[in-house]
Chains A and B, each alone.
Chain A
């Protein structure tokens, strides 16, 4: 039991919190060194391929999933537990302070960083009331106490907002954690590629890749369908993209008339229950293949860009081609696969298949034909963007020729079949996302900022006055001030308080005619005395 308590005390101490903050900062670093699955799966696969020895060990240490790793979670959860353990008592203390009057004056006011003495003509009680009133007028919280020895003290405090801001900031940080968790549990997202003219609806089957929150099931996704009508990209002469515009239409309820929307990078389509974001784009060559039996296959194949000038690569597969009419297959198969490199603006230098401009100024498609068994029947999953290299290695798929085509051109293969390059259609990739924690995150972030500014600009300070009866019926006032936080302006503020008290500094042991200097008297004359009294 004692060890539990000791652990709790250790966890909620400021030093521990500091160490945890440092550890959190350091723990976040590996995520920027190693590729992360959450950012790019492909980059992780590539890294694992390139570092076959190191990668398994790194993977076991969650190096590719740093921000979802148990050790990273442990750090921030410990930090937040420490935060709660620290905040709750502070909140209680602060609420108590808001109710309680400011504490009474310390015994020796003259030892405070700011102090001075004044003589006024009023008696202690009246003088105290006057001081209290003046302080209240300047928004100080005050308490007046009469003591048995005839002295009266006025205690005043200001700057409670600082702690309020501080607590707001830290509780808002907690709300961010809640918002994050909420989004992770009840959010989902899917990515897919849409070729112009295509429609997709919001079901998991329609996504190339998706991820569901822990508390989300895929069968309750909001129903909507989105159609891509056209996509236009504009580029500067340097090839730098200048504008992407996707014309889409969408239906949220079946039977509803489609509404149109201009989807752009900073202009997502916000539907109830999900948002659609424009993420990427590219070209999809349209190919028509007429096999040796006269069957026609037309396919639109999205090619993936490999560089900034949109040199793109892809594969077209025709598994049902070259089957004689009336049969379902041949042995050996004579299926056709086409691998291609597409250049929207061909490089004038022959043999360099790298586009020199991302728009279609001189489009050229270089195709390589492969015939044989594509290996699709084996049941093993295959990429739609590559041919099965094993089939090539085994000699089941052989290269039959290479040709460069411009739109409208056709190419006759050795077996008499023809490949026709009809042109291209643009495609886009969209990310469809729902994050129900977002609203809370935004609200929490706003509160973090407000709390931070209030906390860092607030100044907690106290002023006390001890009023003793003087021999002549007036009062001798000792004033003391203390800024509890960094506040260089406090000297001035204290001087203003003293000026409001008025009176005069008592001459050394010489009660001269100062009693006529009433409390009401104000003036800058009181100011220089402040610092002299302090040293």
Chain B
């Protein structure tokens, strides 16, 4: 069963890579298609009289068009027909298949170990990425026009899973005494869910910065090119050139905020459960162990993002940089701290 699980992980990673290729074809060559047309349509900023800045100006949401009755899902907002559109749709279908295999990895792993599959870093990353993929598909089901983001989602997915399978993998085994607690189920699942969702939130946040960079570099003319006239791709350099096929900056920014606002309480719950667990396992609810320290740092960083975004005088791009930095602290906590704590207990390499 454990071997089956390991094999399935490989299968899932390969499927995600294939999905990424599908998205990529659409992303790279489908810019004249419907996706691009939807994506390129300029934001119509409505100035709300008396509305506090940061309040919703609702006419601008291209991702979820205002008219509720408009047949968005089968209509023009859906990434369109044509060969590249098919590639994108294949990407979505493959993501779903990849997720199914991915879930099977976790199930077989749990059966092999005789417990919930949340006992070590490998299992944590596999769970986190499953939440990430699931979140992505749910998002896509409600907002089909987000499909250009699929390249980045599946790309990150393949990278994380590949790293997990090649480097982090450990044999399935029962839990160590310190992990034998009901809190494992609550704390680790909450932490994995929050991490997966914060990763999902990071995607539109980072792409928003790319898109605003693209908008600034391609000049005001880009806003007029709602039709087929996209600006010359050579005018804007990488990575901002990626912005051409992305949804409008505003809708990315708002999506990023809403995902963060959804994930942040889960992250808070994870930390609280961790503290309750730490009390019964180690005798203290908080001890500034490196893992605790970094989850605190991440929490503060995300709190700073949410505050920055709620502050009218802080630019949205500045606020979003906070979110990007906060995700960096999550990555440090997951990858750097785990390795330093396991491999170099004596804090070597610092002198």
Binding between chains A and B: yes
Contact in complex: A111, B49 (CB < 8 Å): yes
B285 within 8 A of A: yes
What A residues does B181 contact at CB under 8 A? Answer: 266
Task: Tell me the residues in window 7-50 of chain B with beta carbons closer than 8 Å to chain A beta carbons.
Answer: 46, 48-50
Stretch at the interface among A89-97, A335-343, A478-486, A510-518: A478-486
A47 contacts which chain B residues (CB < 8 A)?
346-347
Q: Is the C-beta of A265 less than 8 angstroms from some C-beta in chain B? A: yes
With the chains together, A161 CA to B196 CA distance in Å?
A: 29
Determine if A186 is an interface residue (Cβ-Cβ < 8 Å).
Answer: no
Q: Quick check: is B227 within 8 A (CB to CB) of the other chain?
A: no
Shortest Cβ-Cβ A-B pairs, 9 listed: A277-B283, A266-B181, A21-B304, A32-B290, A111-B49, A25-B300, A431-B283, A265-B177, A32-B293
List 16 extra interface pairs beyond A25-B329, A448-B272, A486-B54, CB under 8 A.
A14-B313, A28-B296, A31-B288, A32-B337, A47-B346, A50-B346, A50-B351, A240-B176, A244-B177, A265-B177, A275-B283, A438-B285, A486-B261, A488-B58, A491-B66, A528-B67
Nearest chain A residue, comparing its CB with the CB of B308: A18
**Which of A35-43, A128-136, A320-328, A371-379 participates in binding chain B?**
A35-43
Candidates A43, A442, A492; contact of B276 at CB < 8 Å: A442
Residue-by-residue, is B137-173 near A (CB-CB < 8 Å gives 1, otherwise 0)?
Answer: 0000000000000000000000000000000000101
* B300 contacts A28, C-beta separation under 8 Å: yes
| Binary contact readout A97-140 vs B (1 if CB under 8 angstroms, 0 otherwise) | 00000000010100111100000000000000000000000000
Query: Which B residues are CB-close (under 8 A) to A240?
Result: 173-174, 176
Complex CA–CA separation, A259 to B64 (angstroms) = 65
Residue of A nearest to B277 (CB): A266
- CB contacts (< 8 Å) of A151 on chain B: these are none
Quick one: which of B52, B257, B304, B311 has the most chain A CB within 10 A? B304
Say yes or no for A22: interface residue by CB 8 A criterion: yes
In the complex, what residues of A have CB within 8 A of residue B68's CB? 491-492, 495, 527
Give the residues from 328 to 350 in chain B that come closer than 8 angstroms, CB to CB, to chain A. 329, 337, 345-347, 350
A1-28 interface bits toward B, Cβ cutoff 8 Å, 1 = contact, 0 = none? 0000000000000110110011011001
Chain A binder among B94-102, B128-136, B263-271 = B263-271
A67: chain B residues at CB < 8 Å are: 288
Query: Contact: A485 with B55, CB < 8 Å?
Result: yes
- In this assembly, does B307 line the interface, its C-beta being within 8 Å of a C-beta of chain A? yes
Which A32-61 residues sit within 8 Å CB-CB of chain B? 32-36, 38-39, 43, 46-47, 50-51, 54
Question: Is there a chain B Cβ closer than 8 Å to A236's Cβ?
Answer: yes
Of the A-B pairs whose beta carbons lie under 8 Å apart in the complex, a sample of 8, sorted by A's number, is: A18-B304, A238-B173, A240-B176, A265-B177, A449-B272, A482-B48, A491-B66, A531-B66
Taking a contact as CB atoms under 8 Å apart, the answer to whether B180 and A112 are in contact is no
Interface flag for A452 (CB, 8 Å): yes
How close is A492's CB to chain B, nearest CB, in angstroms?
A: 6
Asked if B59 is an interface residue, CB under 8 A from chain A, the answer is: yes
B311 touching A112, Cβ below 8 Å: no
Known contacts A114-B58, A448-B268, A452-B268; A21 and B288 CB within 8 A of each other: no
User: Is A313 in contact with chain B by the CB < 8 A criterion?
Assistant: no
B116 CB, min distance to chain A CBs, angstroms: 15
Task: State in angstroms the CA–CA spacing of A535 and B50 once bound together.
Answer: 18
A445 at the binding interface (Cβ < 8 Å)? yes
Which chain A residues numbered 400 to 432 have a C-beta less than 8 Å away from chain B? 431
For the complex formed, measure the closest distance between the CB of A446 and the CB atoms of chain B, giving whole angstroms: 8
Q: Which residue of A lies closest to B272 (CB)?
A: A445
Cβ of A254 within 8 Å of any chain B Cβ, yes or no, is no
A22 neighbours in B (Cβ, 8 Å):
301, 304
A243 touching B49, Cβ below 8 Å: no
Check A265 against B46 for contact (C-beta < 8 Å): no
Contacts A28-B297, A453-B265; A435 near B50 (Cβ below 8 A): no
Q: Which residues in chain A, 299-349, are within 8 Å of chain B measured between CB atoms?
A: none
Which chain B residues lie closer than 8 Å to A492 at the CB level?
68
Task: Check A113/B272 contact, CB under 8 A, given A18-B308, A189-B283, A277-B283.
Answer: no
Report the minimal beta-carbon distance from A188 to chain B, rounded to whole angstroms. 12
Is the Cβ of B275 less than 8 Å from the Cβ of A445? yes
**Chain A residue with Cβ nearest B276:** A442
> In the complex, which residues 73-129 of chain B have their Cβ closer than 8 Å to any Cβ of chain A?
none
Residue of B nearest to A264 (CB): B177
| Cα–Cα distance between A36 and B347 once the two chains are bound (Å) | 11
Are A43 and B346 in contact, CB atoms less than 8 angstroms apart? yes
Interface string of A277-317 (1 = CB under 8 A from B): 10100000000000000000000000000000000000000
